[in-house]
Chains A and B, each alone.
Chain A
Amino acid sequence: MSFKDKVVLVTGGSRGIGRSIAVGFAKAGASTVVISYAGNEAAAQETVGLLQAAGAKAEALKFDVSDAIACANAIEGVVKTHGRLDVLVNNAGMAVDGLVMRVKDDDWDKQLDTNLKGAFALIRAASRPMMKQRSGAIVNVTSVVGEMGNVGQAAYSASKAGLIGLTKSVARELSSRNIRVNAVSPGFIGTDMTSHLSDELRQKMLEGIPLGRLGNPEEVAQAVLFLSGDASSYITGEVLRVNGGMYM
């Protein structure tokens, strides 16, 4: 799988799954990998170092994906600086857990704005340069929780389910310009986001995973790379599950 001469933007790329995706592109030969991050400067710089070590030009942009103007500016900046945009990976996401009766409006909005509206704003901005290029790939990182629901994650699951609808609609709209739009749906992956779970809950979740273990971020990255490159040239509007069989 080669991404030679490709310019890639991965949101939420400083840590966790996003970092693995970004590094995966760099190792697969992408000429330029741009990551966005919300605030963790040290992690972002560390990722930039990893990307450069893998031979890619790397850049870290600090912006909040829930800010549509910042998203438009970021895409414009990438196209201006690097000349094109071949792959957009909407990976930035956040979760604030709580039973539905106790969910605060603010927490609901924050999750929908970051996980769903952010992806929309970036797709809207990226679709124009990609249409001009007559090529492009967009991959949205959704979640098993968007497909099967989860206690305490009403907002998170709504946002992730929304991403699947967004993926399919945009796949249809942009298909005539050779732009493919797909989603990757990770299951229970070992990252900061899942590290706070109690041993008891972790054990219970493992019982629901046929492969009997957590996934790792690299395994998600491989799926994202597949859907971003020529190996998947006839696949659009698809949701690729990377969940160890947790949901089939």
Chain B
Amino acid sequence: MSTSAIETKVKGIIADQLGVGEDEIKVESSFIEDLGADSLDIVELVMAMEEEFEVEIPDEEAENIKTVGDAINYITNHKK
């Protein structure tokens, strides 16, 4: 899967999970500061991405995923 395809899917998941418009979601957007996510939202996002991309995101890695770009990078690097 290409990075741009991953980016599109990730943004779709975020829009669905956080109830924000896809046009508001930028690569540099912070989940908590820009998109209004709380800690439960982050857990749900991580679980949704794990399912969609069939990757495992350990808790210690999830802590470092703070922006949309972080998520896209993690999935790009770990997706089989």
Contacts and interface: CB of A to CB of B under 8 A. Distances in A.
B38, B40, B47 interface centre (most CB from chain A within 10 Å) = B40
B35 to A, nearest CB: 16
Nearest to B38: A176
Contacts of A132: 44
Interface residues of A, number: 7
Contacts of A174: 40
A128 B40 contact: no
- In this complex, the interface size class of chain B, counting residues with CB under 8 Å from chain A, is under 10
A38 interface: no
Contacts, number: 10
B56 to A, nearest CB: 17
Specify the main secondary structure of chain A where it touches its partner. helix
Interface string B19-52: 0000000000000000000101000100100000
Contacts of B40: 131, 173-174, 176-177
B19 to A, nearest CB: 10
B44 A128 contact: yes
A196 B7 CA distance: 63
Interface in A149-194: 173-174, 176-177
Return the 5 tightest CB-CB contacts between A and B, nearest first: A131-B44, A176-B40, A176-B38, A131-B40, A177-B40
10 contacts: A128-B44, A128-B47, A131-B40, A131-B44, A132-B44, A173-B40, A174-B40, A176-B38, A176-B40, A177-B40
Interface of B: 38, 40, 44, 47
Given A128-B47, A176-B38, 8 more contacts: A128-B44, A131-B40, A131-B44, A132-B44, A173-B40, A174-B40, A176-B40, A177-B40
